[in-house]
Amino acid sequence: MGIFSFVAVFVLIRRLQTAFKFSPLRGNWMSQFTLGMWITIALYILAQIFFHEWAVLIFGGGILLAAVWFAEKEPEFEPFSSVLKAHYPLAGASLVAGLTQLIAPTFYDNYGNFFGFAVIGGFVWIFARWASTKKQRAELNFITQQNVMLDKMVAERTAELTKQKNELQNTLVLLQTTQQQLIQSEKLASLGELTAGIAHEIQNPLNFVNNFSEVSMELIDEMGQELAKGDQEEAMSIAGDIKTNLEKIIHHGQRADAIVKGMLQHSRASSNVKEPTDINKLADEYLRLAYHGHRAKDKTFNAELITHFDENLPLLDIVPQDIGRVLLNFFNNAFYAVQKKQTAGDASFKPTVELSTGLKNGFVTISVKDNGTGIPDDIKDKIMQPFFTTKPTGEGTGLGLSLSYDIVVKAHGGSIDIDSVSDEYSIFIVNLPISN
């Protein structure tokens, strides 16, 4: 029975050698494993030749116990701790069997079978533990492989998501840039709509300036003649007329200057700086500019402009060029709608655009009403959406009302109400809070 301990030592060393075959520590132990196996074989042969059976049992159990104890001391063998401990029963059974045979041979002879079963049981237990550990290691290796695969998949997915995130960020930047370009294009387009109206509006004050300048030059000549005659009183009367003319020249020059500044303000990017503004004056100015701009494109177009201004409106803190842009969109749409209805062939139709301002529940209201084509019920909920337009291709960008909504609602804390009956009228009402 002593052979079992030696076989256990040999198998243990062999298993450890196999386990360390691909380990970074291979170089430290492979030669020692080989030497240990040869020493085990040599000791077993010597024990069989020179020792009694009880000595072989004790010697084999001692060698096995020493080998396990040595292995457990080394940190490199920590993963094999449970397998190493499985050798203790065999070592103990071999030592007890050998010592009993030495000390109480009669007892051993009577119960030798039990000692044999104990040694064989310890030997079988070692291989059972090796098989169990092998299965556990196979499962652990499978789990490890799965973890490696999952880590790889996670890394690949993370890289893919990072790439998608970067692409989305780049797309977002591109969209924001495109949005700003579209907004600026819409501003320039609305400025183009204003050009003819601005030319018409600026022509009036310039005509006055020219006329009063010519009259003033004639009056200066007359004043010189009267002074030459010595008629001081008549000269002073003519000087008064010249002063009046100069005052009118200044007034109309300032009017022309205001129109030009308004045009420049409308064309440049919004500063988002709110300033006290006369809503009546702002709305009336953009109404005239829009009307004359529309007439410049079609000389045959005429419309009745009706205004109802609440003279008690307070100055409102707004961004003038932005609210002006909103009103310009509404006026242009109104003139487009009445002209479209007029060209439909109704000879009795009289295009009318009505502008009203007022106060209601802490809000200044600006109402733009036209008796044009109206808005069909099925698209009322869509007209504020970006890029939605009912105009033919090339005549509208679909951004005007969307930008108007952003300006009024998001930038000024107001609201836009729409009332319309198809083929009868449309009313757009801008509500701006008095206190911003």
pLDDT range class, residue 385, cuts 50, 70, 90: low
CA distances (Å), origin 101, targets 87, 93, 118 = 21, 12, 14
Give me the pLDDT at residue 63, please.
Answer: 76
- 364 and 432 Cβ atoms separated by less than 8 Å: yes
Distance of CA 304 to the CA centre of its chain: 48
pLDDT range class, residue 138, cuts 50, 70, 90: low
The mean per-residue pLDDT over the stretch 130-143 comes to 59
> CB-side exposure of 50: number of CA atoms within 13 Å?
7
Determine, yes or no, domain membership for 226.
no
Q: Which domain holds residue 341?
A: 272-436
Give me the pLDDT at residue 8, please.
Answer: 74
3-state secondary structure of 293: helix
* Domain final position from 103, 123, 154: 154
The mean per-residue pLDDT over the stretch 155-169 comes to 89
Q: Is the dihedral of CA 432, 267, 382, 168 positive or negative?
A: negative
* Domain final position from 122, 154, 186: 154
- Domain at 365, CATH number: 3.30.565.10
Give me the pLDDT at residue 1, please.
Answer: 64
Here the tokens at position 387 are 């890029």
For residue range 41-90, what is the model confidence (pLDDT) as tens digits? Answer: 787 777 777 777 777 777 777 777 788 788 778 777 777 777 777 777 77
Question: In the chain, how many domains are there?
Answer: 2
pLDDT range class, residue 95, cuts 50, 70, 90: confident
Give the least confident one: 53-57, 151-155, 264-268, 398-402: 264-268
My answer on whether 140 and 278 are in the same domain is no
pLDDT range class, residue 364, cuts 50, 70, 90: very high
Report d(CA 110, CA 88) in Å as an integer.
25
The mean per-residue pLDDT over the stretch 306-318 comes to 93
Determine, yes or no, domain membership for 189.
no
Planar angle of CA 177, 392, 194, nearest 5 degrees: 65
Those residues whose C-beta lies under 8 Å from the C-beta of residue 296, and which sit 6 or more positions away, are 195, 196, 197, 199, 200
Determine, yes or no, domain membership for 435.
yes
DSSP secondary structure code for residue 282 in this structure: H
Determine, yes or no, domain membership for 419.
yes
Residue 266 has pLDDT above 60, yes or no: no
Report d(CA 427, CA 354) in Å as an integer.
9
pLDDT range class, residue 221, cuts 50, 70, 90: confident
Alpha helices (runs of H) in 74-104, residue ranges in sequence order: 81-85, 88-103
Give me the pLDDT at residue 393, please.
Answer: 47
For residue range 267-276, what is the model confidence (pLDDT) as tens digits? Answer: 555 557 888 9
Determine, yes or no, domain membership for 261.
no
The mean per-residue pLDDT over the stretch 137-147 comes to 58
My answer on whether 279 and 136 are in the same domain is no
Determine, yes or no, domain membership for 132.
yes
Give me the pLDDT at residue 300, please.
Answer: 85
Determine, yes or no, domain membership for 237.
no
For residue range 230-251, what is the model confidence (pLDDT) as tens digits? Answer: 888 888 888 888 888 888 888 8
Determine, yes or no, domain membership for 227.
no
As a whole number, the mean pLDDT across the chain is 78
Report d(CA 365, CA 434) in Å as an integer.
10
Give the least confident one: 17-21, 73-77, 414-418: 17-21
Give the least confident one: 138-147, 198-207, 345-354: 138-147
Residue 205 has pLDDT above 80, yes or no: no
The mean per-residue pLDDT over the stretch 146-159 comes to 82
CA distances (Å), origin 111, targets 22, 52, 95, 134 = 47, 19, 15, 35
* DSSP string for 328-393: HHHHHHHHHHHHHHHTTT-TT---EEEEEEEEETTEEEEEEEE-SS---GGGTTTTTSTT---SPT
pLDDT range class, residue 359, cuts 50, 70, 90: very high
* Domain final position from 100, 134, 154: 154
Report d(CA 258, CA 269) in Å as an integer.
18
- pTM of the model as a whole: 0.48
